[in-house]
Amino acid sequence: MPVRLAIPSELDLQAVPLFPLPHVVMLPGALLPLHVFEARYREMTRDALAGRRLLAVARLKPGFEANYQGRPPIYPVCGVGEIVRHELRKDGCYDILVAGLIRANVREELPATRKYRLVRVESLRDGAAEDPRTLGAWQRELSTLWDKLGPYLPSSVRDLCQRMSANESPGAWADRIAAALVADPDARQALLEELDPAARLSSLVERLHELLSALGEDRPSANLQLN
């Protein structure tokens, strides 16, 4: 079944099932495979599949272990995604694939009516760039560095920059690269919370320079050409 990443024109975000997870941050454009085994989250998955297939995936804050079975605190900025693939296993567990659609802010946790948590969220949109030429320059720099890193990347993402549509916004472009490149939960959370696409792009450029330098592949970069 093909994976659909198109964002619906309108998302009903008034009562979205919440899947709080330790050390997991879902960025827009990312594909997140999950194994669902707890009873409350199996119920959540069944309900989501019978409805809009939406999930709010939020990272649990440190110290969640003390109240894991309750409602431990989460980072309020989360990812909202759509279940695009699922498999019900013989033991009643699910394997699901969630496609990140938007970054969102949890505005309210709804009263407990299910075994799982429901939240009202609002979509977070990128801010407008002061100079669009800067975004283009960062994108070109990032693409060049990604190509240099290519020999060290898994084949599935080696040509990611070439496969991304020219119609994708700079912010979406940064999210796709970040989803493939950044594994550290703190760094991913910071990128999820950053609404300035230029800041996300420049952060990724810096990270790629560090990786290439560690591999002995980095070279002094020319000044960004704003053209």
- The domain locations on the chain are 16-124, 132-214
How confident is the model at residue 200, as a pLDDT?
Answer: 94
Gyration radius (Cα) of the chain, Å: 19
Closest to 57 (Cα-Cα) out of 37, 33, 38: 33
How confident is the model at residue 2, as a pLDDT?
Answer: 35
How confident is the model at residue 3, as a pLDDT?
Answer: 42
How confident is the model at residue 52, as a pLDDT?
Answer: 93
How confident is the model at residue 170, as a pLDDT?
Answer: 85
How confident is the model at residue 10, as a pLDDT?
Answer: 65
CATH superfamily of the 16-124 domain: LON domain-like (2.30.130.40)
How confident is the model at residue 185, as a pLDDT?
Answer: 96
Q: What is the pLDDT along the chain (227 residues), one digit of tens a residue?
A: 334 455 555 678 999 999 999 999 999 999 999 999 999 999 999 999 999 999 999 999 998 888 888 899 999 999 999 999 999 999 999 999 999 999 999 999 999 899 999 999 999 999 876 677 888 888 888 888 888 888 888 888 877 877 776 667 888 889 989 999 999 999 999 999 999 999 999 999 999 999 999 888 765 444 333 22
Q: Is pTM beyond 0.85 here?
A: yes
